[in-house]
Structure 1
Amino acid sequence: MEETTLTVESENVPGAVVLRAEGEVDSYTAELLRGKLSEAFGAGLPVVLDLSAVEFFASAGLSVLVEYHLIGEDRGVPLRLVSPRGSVLRALKATTLTETLDLYLDLDAALRG
């Protein structure tokens, strides 16, 4: 059985924390995404999650996004998603989360908010 992989890099930029995810988000890797989002939200700055390099996105990942969208609303810290495409965008559309979450075409637009 092939192991799924996910990497999430974090970078502090003026006025935001940027997370860049690459690989697959599924039931095995969603906890890594949750942990990185938790760390990022600790800064109290807008969190920009770049999903452009994510190839697969399962329901476990959707749960993490909803969880941190709600945490962000409670704390006044926005979660902004960059460039979801492919399976990520299909999953967001299928669950109508495209109407709830803040989606941006590129990193610059997300940073401007």
Structure 2
Amino acid sequence: MDEALLKVESEKVAGAVVLRAEGEVDSYTAELLRDKLSEAFTEGVPVVLDLSGVEFFASVGLSVLVEYHQRGEERGTALRLVSPRGSVLRALKATLLNETLDLYLDLDSALRA
């Protein structure tokens, strides 16, 4: 796994865990995203995943988002996605996940939700 292709930073902000992802989500880097989401979900507060810095998003990334959306539904912990664009938004729309997942235009909107 080449973690240099994906960077995910985490911080607590306004009663939520905010993860900021930058780079590429593919079969090599998806495990890093999964690990960071797993850590965030242990906090018991909403998890906000900022995807505005993601340039490439393979189908394995969709699997990770679905996995953690379902985990959130089971635990009552929201997963909110911020600013999916480009390949991320195209993938979400192609699979109709944009109708299932909670999408927000900016971090403030996601934190207020």
Q: Would you say same fold, with TM above 0.5? A: yes
Tell me which residue corresponds to 1:91: 91
Tell me which residue corresponds to 2:61: 61
Paired positions, count? 112
**Aligned CA-pair RMSD:** 1.4
CA contact (8 A) 1:4 1:24 kept: no
Tell me which residue corresponds to 2:73: 73
Tell me which residue corresponds to 2:12: 12
Using the TM superposition, give the Cα deviation of residue 56 of structure 1 relative to its aligned residue in structure 2, in angstroms. Answer: 0.2
Using the TM superposition, give the Cα deviation of residue 13 of structure 1 relative to its aligned residue in structure 2, in angstroms. Answer: 1.3
In structure 2, what is the Cα distance between the partners aligned to 1:31 and 1:3?
Answer: 9
Structure 1 counterpart of 2:25, which letter? V
Moved over 6 A (4+): none
CA contact (8 A) 1:44 1:77 kept: yes
In structure 2, what is the Cα distance between the partners aligned to 1:33 and 1:3?
Answer: 10
In structure 1, what is the Cα distance between the partners aligned to 2:65 and 2:98?
Answer: 11
In structure 1, what is the Cα distance between the partners aligned to 2:4 and 2:97?
Answer: 24
Using the TM superposition, give the Cα deviation of residue 4 of structure 1 relative to its aligned residue in structure 2, in angstroms. Answer: 6.5
Unaligned ranges ≥5, structure 1 = none
Using the TM superposition, give the Cα deviation of residue 90 of structure 1 relative to its aligned residue in structure 2, in angstroms. Answer: 0.2
In structure 2, what is the Cα distance between the partners aligned to 1:35 and 1:77?
Answer: 17
In structure 2, what is the Cα distance between the partners aligned to 1:77 and 1:3?
Answer: 27
Q: What do the CA deviations read for 1:44-103 (whole angstroms, capped 9, x no partner)?
A: 000000000000000000000000000000000000000000000000000000000000
TM-score of the aligned structures, taking structure 1 as reference length: 0.96
In structure 2, what is the Cα distance between the partners aligned to 1:58 and 1:98?
Answer: 15
TM-score of the aligned structures, taking structure 2 as reference length: 0.96
